[in-house]
Chains A and B, each alone.
Chain A
Amino acid sequence: MSVRRAFALPVIAALFALCAAVFAQTGTYNPDTPADPATEQRLRNLAGELRCLVCQNQTIADSNADLAVDLRREVRKQILQGKRDAEIKDYLVARYGDFVLYKPPVQANTAALWFGPLVLLVIGAGIWVALVRKRAAKVAANTVSAEDEQKAKSLLQ
């Protein structure tokens, strides 16, 4: 028993040392390998908002295109460097343009995109209100004279 324990102790110590070495490695700033869970979560969130320009209708989180892999690596590197999300997005917009953002920003050249549907809705509502009012006015104007009503009654009997 004691022999076995004497043997087990160095083994356990070695395992701990190995674990420590592995953790130390994930702790270093190597952008090629997954980092700590918090960083990876931020990377996933950010990558989900960035467009893969090769595959256009995919985010760089969903795509395995070479460029998407490169961009994920770049984003991870910048997170590890302590950059804020907005800074990382600005970095990519400066290079790839607004198109790299999956959700278009609200600005002058996207105004039609953001507010166009609302404008169309207002126009539609306006037309609808005008039509309803017109119809109501028509119904109100079509009052039947007492003579006609009498005539109708006699015909229906």
Chain B
Amino acid sequence: MTEIAQRKGAGTLRLAIPLVVFALLVFFLWRGLWRDPREVPSALIDKPAPDFTLPVLGDATRKFSPAEYRGKVWLLNVWGSWCISCQVEHPSLLSLAKMNAVPIVGFDWKDKPEAAAKWLAQQGGDPYALSVTDLDGRVAIDYGVYGAPETFVIDRQGVIRMKHIGPLDEASIKDKLLPMIRKLSQ
């Protein structure tokens, strides 16, 4: 190979560098398009569900704590009558409840109990085995809740195994939630 030919080879290689950098940039930006920055992975996955004792909505005499569901796979679904996305999610929760796969415990977050009860009545059904009310949002902090709706999947040992952020829909129930529930129920 002559010196000139060698130089030419190095030249095309050098020309390729910006192209490679550009391709990398496009790759990362492209991936970024499909990722939701609002979805912060939970720090509580594979950690015991924080304990609480909260009043049950609509039953002043009853309180609920997660220990009651020890030995069961169950869902904790954060909602509020002020939450618009929860309205969107509600039909999916109703059809999930009809499957009788798992009990769904509602977590009424920073809500007035009267408003919450009224809201539930307006949604065309109550998918929850029961709902607890967290008036001051104190327990929600323990669960790292930062928006509603959020859904936790809790296993028989009382360990959080999955957290879904945002409204559940047919697809996320079928592809994400149910497989996990089946796996945990075995």
User: How far is the CB of A66 from the nearest CB of chain B, in Å?
Assistant: 6
Is the contact region of chain A dominated by helix, strand, or loop, or is it mixed? Answer: helix
CB atoms of A54 and B146 under 8 A apart: yes
Closest to B43 in A: A97
CB atoms of B37 and A67 under 8 A apart: no
CB atoms of B43 and A56 under 8 A apart: no
- Interface flags, A69-83, vs B, CB<8A=1, else 0: 011001000000000
Is the contact region of chain B dominated by helix, strand, or loop, or is it mixed? Answer: loop
Query: What residues of B have a CB within 8 angstroms of the CB of A97 in the complex?
Result: 40-43, 144
**Partner of A95 from B37, B38, B136, B142 at Cβ < 8 Å:** B142
Inter-chain CA distance A61–B141, complex, in Å, is 17
Inter-chain CA distance A93–B146, complex, in Å, is 13
Closest to A92 in B: B141
CB atoms of B43 and A66 under 8 A apart: no
Q: How many residues of B are counted as interface, with CB atoms below 8 angstroms from the partner's CB atoms?
A: 18
CB atoms of A96 and B110 under 8 A apart: no
Q: Most A CB atoms within 10 A — which of B42, B141, B142?
A: B141
With an 8 A cutoff between CB atoms, is A102 at the interface? no
User: How far is the CB of A55 from the nearest CB of chain B, in Å?
Assistant: 10
Inter-chain CA distance A94–B41, complex, in Å, is 12
CB atoms of A67 and B40 under 8 A apart: no
For window 85-111 of A, CB contacts with B under 8 Å fall at 93-99
Inter-chain CA distance A96–B147, complex, in Å, is 12
Query: What residues of A have a CB within 8 angstroms of the CB of B54 in the complex?
Result: none
12 CB < 8 A contacts A-B:
A53-B146, A53-B147, A56-B38, A66-B110, A67-B137, A70-B110, A70-B136, A70-B137, A74-B138, A96-B40, A97-B40, A97-B42
Q: 6 closest A-B pairs (Cβ-Cβ)?
A: A53-B146, A97-B43, A95-B144, A70-B137, A96-B144, A99-B40
